[in-house]
Amino acid sequence: MNAPQTVSPIRIDAEFDSGNIEVLGIDGATARLAIPADHMSEFRQWFHFRVSGAAGREVTLKIVNLATSAYPEGWPGYRACVSEDRDFWGRADTTYDKDADGGTLIITYTPASDIAWFAYFAPYSMERHHDLVAEAAASEGVSYRHLGITLDGQSIDCLEMGEGGTEVWLYARQHPGESMAEWWMEGALECLTDPADPVARALRAQCRIHVVPNCNPDGSRRGHLRTNAVGTNLNREWHEPTEEKSPEVLAIRNAMDETGVDFAMDVHGDEAIAAVFLAGFEGIPSWTDELGAQYTRYQSILARRTPDFQTAKGYAVSQPGTANLSMSTNQLAERFGACSMTLEMPFKDNDDLPDAAQGWSPERCKLLARDCLASLLEWLEPESA
């Protein structure tokens, strides 16, 4: 009589750039997991880990205690991102049971190879960031600018290009777990540094463009959702940033003070709303209908240019005089009279144009970036009478 075969348990680890998970227990190919909070913060939602020893086996991953995560409304309808080559990121079968074990996300997947990587969204590593910056900085007509140092000692990188008089600032990943924002930046820089791209050529003739691909390198590398190395939410620091809590914002805002800002886009991701949308600066003390009309016009142009963008879903509009000036979009509109906006992309899918294989994906982030730039070019043209 043959002895019963022992099935080895899967292995799970997250000790790498942007990794974040706590292993509570493993039984064969089933694991019980939890998401640790950002350092010195209560925000927790980002996960990124790898499973090995699972080739050909159905893996069941249960992430528990999510009812008290930062955005529990982000879990219903969400599907986890998965990759076996860390290049193509698809979506795994995922369900959410709000009543099980404090709110449980259940991911099931059968990898063909021995290692599979799971993440809240397709990660954008600091190594890829450095490749992006190096390639862009080596492009003709592009200059690199070091804006400052983070609390962990990383550089705050800025790329500048263009000969025109309109000051444009594009910046992303104030919230590091919103990795779709740097995928958008990759698409934007690929467009802007392409000498044959007509949109880039026209924009660089009319504008001076400043690009900060990652405002929060420390949080990105640490695997944070929303904060920097000391638990600061950078997008609540723009009214009075400090070297101790938010040197990233202080460095970026100081650079903006030197150049001025005419147009600004702050690139983010939203956990709950399954759509691409913009948030503006309604409610700033110095609001004018003329400035508001500039923002509305940009929205309209982008909605016409791509079916991935819409205006029906989004955040509630602030009432007059109630804008939060600690947020960059409001601060820049108030400080410079800039047409500033926050671009939000989904962690889930775009429900208006769903993709069963990938949901919202890095590829679509990059395509959206070029549509945003083409919309900016049209926005710069005077309206016809």
Which band of pLDDT confidence, cut at 50, 70 and 90, is reported for residue 382? confident
What's the farthest any 2 CA atoms get from each other in the chain? 90
CA gap 332, 261 in Å, rounded? 7
CA gap 217, 125 in Å, rounded? 10
Judge whether residue 385 has pLDDT over 50: no
Q: How many CA atoms lie within 13 A of 307 on its CB side?
A: 4
Dihedral pair phi/psi, residue 330, rounded to 5°: -70, -40
Helix (H, G, I), strand (E, B) or coil at 159: strand
Residue-wise pLDDT for 238-295, tens only, equals 999 999 999 999 999 999 999 999 999 999 999 999 999 999 999 999 999 999 999 9
- Is there a contact between 279 and 235 (Cβ–Cβ < 8 Å)? no
What are the catalytic residues?
344
pTM listed for this prediction: 0.98
Judge whether residue 2 has pLDDT over 90: no
The crossing angle, in degrees rounded to 10, of helices 362-380 and 180-192 is: 50
Judge whether residue 3 has pLDDT over 90: no
- Is there a contact between 39 and 221 (Cβ–Cβ < 8 Å)? no
Residues 356-363: contacts with CB within 8 Å, 24+ apart? Answer: 356/91, 357/90, 357/91, 358/89, 358/90, 358/91, 359/79, 359/81, 359/91, 360/121, 360/180, 361/89, 361/122, 362/89, 362/122, 362/124, 362/180, 362/183, 362/186
